[in-house]
Copies of this chain bind each other. A is one copy, B any other.
Amino acid sequence: MSKSEIPGKVVAICGGVGGAKLALGLYRILTPEQLTVVVNTGDDFEHLGLHVSPDIDTVVYTLADLADRERGWGRANETWAFMAALKALGGEDWFNLGDADLAMHVQRTLRLKAGETLTTITSDLARRLGIAAEILPMSDDPVRTFVETDEGVLGFQRYFVGRRCEPRVERIRFDGAETARPSPRVLAALADPDVRAVVICPSNPFLSVDPILAVPGMRAAIRSTSAPVVAVTPIIGGQAVKGPTAKIMAELDIPVTALAVASHYEGLIDGFVLDDKDAADRAAFPVAVDVVPTLMQSMADREALARSVLAFAGRLEPRT
């Protein structure tokens, strides 16, 4: 199937690394005009006076083929002269910012202060890096993920990077979400009659997708599209491919299963893509299930999963 044979548009809902892999798969099998990626900004934070948007940067770098695949964040061939010099000056060095990566944060911060929206800035910076697909923050309003833990309340990056997800999670909250508005371009993308699928990428449901869904109007906008909404499992055989998803689910007393993820999305999704390792569980799901290999190691894996997700969506009934 060549790119042009896939009809319609796709809206991908995405957090960081795991989600970005599938977003890249979609990007490679669709024309750029067919794809909109809606990205979590709950992980955003002010660091060293700079506005850092980790998930947006992961998606942008991944689609621009600038991402470091080994490290899982930041840019390939990165250098660290800034961090070394910062440490010598007594600066905060718990959060690494690469030399080239810094340009993104400096430029974003400058343009935000000049009054541009995160939507405009993200879209423009992505295009300057050669990405023709639309990458959009979920909102231009600040939403900040905080993790309530047995060590107290931690900002997301303090929990995730500073404390390496070690504290026990008691509750996750999204400060600012209740008054945030979806980015108008996200709403426009979801309202486009050409949308053929909304894909919830295999990101952490609680840390990466929930902040997006917490923005008032976002769920309704997703539900009001006539296209099927399909989620891809971030859990394979009771384990997360990467990151703290399994640990967090256990701490929140949620079974570490794909079924629990599908149940979490119940009412929002029309279909769920399950890994073939978990095929035995398929009958228990509250929605239509497609069973395929979901582990994305090679580029071919990314593209194959993207194709099968869209084919699955194509087999689902249009909504009424």
A residues engaging B (CB < 8 A)?
Answer: 48-50, 75, 78-79, 81-86, 88-91, 98-104, 106-107, 109-110, 113, 124-125, 128-129
Having A85-B101, A88-B103, A90-B128, one finds 7 other A-B pairs with CB under 8 Å, namely: A48-B110, A49-B49, A50-B106, A78-B81, A82-B99, A86-B106, A88-B128
Can you list 7 A-B contacts (CB < 8 A)? A48-B107, A75-B85, A81-B100, A85-B99, A85-B102, A88-B128, A89-B103
| Main DSSP-derived SS at the A contact region | helix
Cβ-defined contact, B85 with A100, below 8 A: yes
B residues in contact with A100, CB < 8 Å: 81-82, 84-85
B residues in contact with A104, CB < 8 Å: 85, 89
B residues in contact with A83, CB < 8 Å: 103
B residues in contact with A88, CB < 8 Å: 103, 128-129
CA distance A206 to B84 in the complex (A): 37
CA distance A98 to B79 in the complex (A): 12
CA distance A107 to B124 in the complex (A): 28
Q: How far is the CB of A31 from chain B (nearest CB, A)?
A: 24
CA distance A84 to B129 in the complex (A): 12
Cβ-defined contact, B107 with A89, below 8 A: yes
Cβ-defined contact, B110 with A85, below 8 A: no
Cβ-defined contact, A103 with B79, below 8 A: no
Q: How far is the CB of A153 from chain B (nearest CB, A)?
A: 22
Select which of B78, B91, B109, B129 is within 8 A of A49 by beta carbon: B109
Cβ-defined contact, A91 with B79, below 8 A: no
B residues in contact with A79, CB < 8 Å: 79, 81, 99
A127 nearest in chain B by CB position:
B90
Q: How far is the CB of A126 from chain B (nearest CB, A)?
A: 10
CA distance A90 to B120 in the complex (A): 14
Q: How far is the CB of A249 from chain B (nearest CB, A)?
A: 37
B residues in contact with A102, CB < 8 Å: 82, 85, 99, 102
CA distance A113 to B82 in the complex (A): 20
A77 nearest in chain B by CB position:
B81
Cβ-defined contact, A99 with B81, below 8 A: yes
**Residue from the set A84, A90, A109 with the largest chain B CB neighbour count within 10 Å:** A90
Q: How far is the CB of A58 from chain B (nearest CB, A)?
A: 16
CA distance A125 to B89 in the complex (A): 6
CA distance A51 to B165 in the complex (A): 34
